[in-house]
Each structure stands twice: as structure tokens, then as C-alpha cells.
Amino acid sequence: MTTQTLTITRPDDWHLHVRDGEMLGAVLPDTARQFARAIIMPNLKPPVATVELALAYRDRILAALPDEADFEPLMTLYLTEQTTPDDIRQAADNPFVHAVKYYPAGATTNAASGVRDLERVMPVIEEMEKQGLPLLMHGEVTDSEIDIFDREAVFIERHLDGLVKRFPGLPMVFEHITTSAAVDFVLAAPDNVAATITAHHLLLNRNAIFDGGLRPHHYCLPVLKRESNRQSLVKAATSGNPKFFLGTDSAPHPKSAKESDCGCAGVYSALHAMEFYAEVFDDAGALDKLEGFASFHGPDFYRLPRNPDTLTLVAEPQEIPETVDFAVEDGVPLRAGGQTRWSVRY
């Protein structure tokens, strides 16, 4: 029997953390091997809150790329309560800045400078709507009284529903959705509202955090949810609906920062991102929908051209290492020590 092969238009990653400094140089090649472009998250310390900082970060990313890489970072600004409508006009006028990221203050890694009160950034969001600059949202409330598994659903009720009604012309991406409630919301919302879905939320449910003991490498934000939610995400991703597209949220942390008394949130999936997505689509009997999800819906939403080149996947397993070199220290990739079912043919 011949090995099953799948060739698709080269994909993009619409949600990615690559950090900075030595770690940037260590992790970036994993993404650049598979993806032509990636939306780069701005949650550095200090946050990438101005066009000037975004351009300097872009230069560091380009300098960290291997010589042979063909990869374009798509920069974002970090929305703070100090962001001004003028920052937005500068971003909209700049060819390298593609979106603005909203973190509720304290929601996740380096989110301390995020937004405490959404009302304070309304003039900025109004300017974004005027300019057509997409708003990317970490869609969780941070209220410690709200159960951590309910924070996405409560964000929809308290904030997202109102934002969608108030800004009908604003492109909005509900990032890394994790629940049936989010899927239903996006399906019912107008076409200016889309969502990204990670590989780990498609592959795992919350049992993976507690599988025979505490599994810090499966801790991410938003946290993994129950199986019925995972199934809703798979259905949405594999449906062919252009509102859903690929965003790995690959988020490297040193091994010791994950395996700690207070471990960091983040899953490092970049090493084999496309192999994982292919497995999900294969299991759902929907390999024919992978190209839309990975390579068409994102650029169409962001009004960018689709990539001219291709990526080929083969149904051959591949060993996943126990650790990867993050320069500063080792990191632990998703499914470390296991196997992929698909491989990218380079």
C-alpha cells in the first residue's frame, strides 16, 4: 500500500509566542520550517505596545531566522490603558503591524499591563473599527471568584457579546477558543467575528492535566476543558467554516518554569504543529478540510494573499524528543517522548 500523502497550500500560524533573546533564536526555526507567516504575540516584558517597539521586535525576529528560512512575522500591538487612537492610526498605516491584542490584566503570562476596564479603551477600539485593524482577544475574565473552567463563557456574557454589538465593522478574533459556548457564539456572530483554535485544545481534554499525576506541560490558558468541549472544537475546525482558523498558541517556557511550585501556562506545540493538526483532521475524516483551516481562512480574514507555495504531509510516524533546546534551558514539546502519526516532508 502506498503511503498516504497530503499536499496543501503552505499554512500560516495566526497566534504564536516566540519570546525574545536567545530563546527566540532557538524556537523560531520550528515555526519557520512549517509556516510561511505567523501572528506574533506582543506579551514580552515590557509589552510590545507601540509601533516603534513592534518594528524593533520584528527586526530581532528577522535577525534570528535561519538563512534559508522563508518566513514573515506579522506584528501585533499590546493593548494597554495607555494606548491612544494615534497609536492605532500609526499601526494601521504600517505595513508590518496587523492587529492589536487585548489581554485582560493578569489573565496570563506577562498580562500585567493588560486592560483592567474595557470602557477605558473604547476610544481606541473605535479607532480600530474606523481603520479596520483587527482586535485579537484573550477571551477570559480574570475574576478570581469565577471558576477557572467558566472564565471563557463568562467573558462572552460580560464583554464579548456587547463588543460585537457595539462594533459591527471591527474585525475581531476570539483567540484560542476552548468551549462549546465559544463555538456557538462565533457561529451565531456576524462575519467580522472569527476564532483561532490550537492543536492542544483539539487533541486533549482536561483529564490530560491530571493523567496519573499532575502534568504541568498540559497546563495552558485558557485551561483544557471537558471532552464535550473538545469535540465541539473539532467539529468547528473540521467543518470548513471560514470563521475558524489555525492558531497554535505555541508558548515556550523553560522546563524548570513549567515543572515548578507555580508553573507557567503554555504548551510548546511548534515542533510538530502541522503533524498534530493533520492527526486531528484525519481522525475526524476531514483531511480535505485541513487546507482551508490552515492556509485559506486566516489570510482571507486578515485580507492578505494566500501563500503561493505548498507543504506536504505524509502518514508516517515520527519520534518526538523528550526535550528540545531553548538555548537558555531545555523545553518540553507537546507529546514529548511519544510519536506523531503524520510527518511533514521537507
Q: What is the binding site for ligand DOR (CB under 6 A)?
A: 17, 43, 108-109, 138, 220-221, 249, 251, 265-266
13 binds Zn ion (CB under 5 A): no
Residue closer to Zn ion by CB (options 43, 343) is 43
Q: Give the nearer residue to ligand DOR in terms of CB position, either 178 or 232.
A: 178
Long-range CB contacts for residues 285-290, cutoff 8 Å, separation at least 24? 286/238, 286/240, 287/6, 289/237, 289/238, 289/239, 289/240, 290/6, 290/8
Which of helix, strand or coil describes residue 248? coil
Asked if 290 and 215 touch (Cβ cutoff 8 Å), the reply is: no
User: Environment class of residue 291 by beta-carbon count within 10 Å: exposed (0-12), middle (13-18) or buried (19+)?
Assistant: buried
Closest distance between Zn ion and the C-beta of residue 249, in Å?
Answer: 4
Residue whose CB is less far from Zn ion, 57 or 342: 57
Q: Which does 108 bind (CB under 5 to 8 A by kind): Zn ion, ligand DOR, none?
A: ligand DOR
What DSSP character marks residue 202?
H
**Least Å distance between CB 288 and ligand DOR?**
30
Residue 30 vs 129, nearer CB to ligand DOR: 30
Tell me the per-residue interface mask from 116 to 135 with Zn ion, x by CB under 5 A, - otherwise. Answer: --------------------
What count of other Cβ atoms lies within 10 Å of the Cβ of residue 152? Answer: 25
Beta-bridge mates of residue 76: 99
Does residue 152 touch Zn ion according to CB under 5 A?
Answer: no
**324 contacts which partner out of ligand DOR, Zn ion, none, CB within 5 to 8 A by kind?**
none
SS3 readout for 290-325:
HHHHHHHHHHHHHCCCCCCCEEEEECCCEECCCCEE
| Smallest separation, CB 40 to ligand DOR (Å) | 11
The sign of the CA dihedral 239, 242, 248, 249 is: negative
Nearer to ligand DOR, 172 or 286 (CB): 172
Find the binder of Zn ion among 12, 72, 127, 249 (CB under 5 A): 249
Task: Kindly state the cell numbers that stand for 213.
Answer: 499525576
Per partner kind, with CB cut-offs from 5 to 8 A, the member of ligand DOR, Zn ion, none near residue 220 is: ligand DOR
Give the residue among 30, 20, 93, 3 at the shortest CA–CA distance from 274. 30
Shortest Å, Cβ 119 to ligand DOR: 23
249 is catalytic: yes
333 secondary structure, DSSP code: B
User: At its nearest, how many Å lie between Zn ion and the CB of residue 288?
Assistant: 28
- The option from Zn ion, ligand DOR, none interacting with 88 (CB < 5 to 8 A, set by class) reads none
Residue nearest Zn ion by beta-carbon distance: 249
Least distance from Zn ion to the Cβ atom of residue 221, Å: 8
The DSSP result for 97-134, as a single string, is EEEEEE-BTTSSTT-TTSBS-GGGGHHHHHHHHHHTPP
Among residues 67, 249, 261, 288, the one annotated as catalytic is 249
Ramachandran angles phi, psi of 52, nearest 5°: -60, -45
Rounded Cα gap, residues 281 and 119, in angstroms = 40
Q: For residues 301 and 342, which CB has a smaller minimum distance to Zn ion in the complex?
A: 301
- Would you tell me which residues interact with Zn ion (CB under 5 A)? 249
Question: Which of the residues are catalytic?
Answer: 249
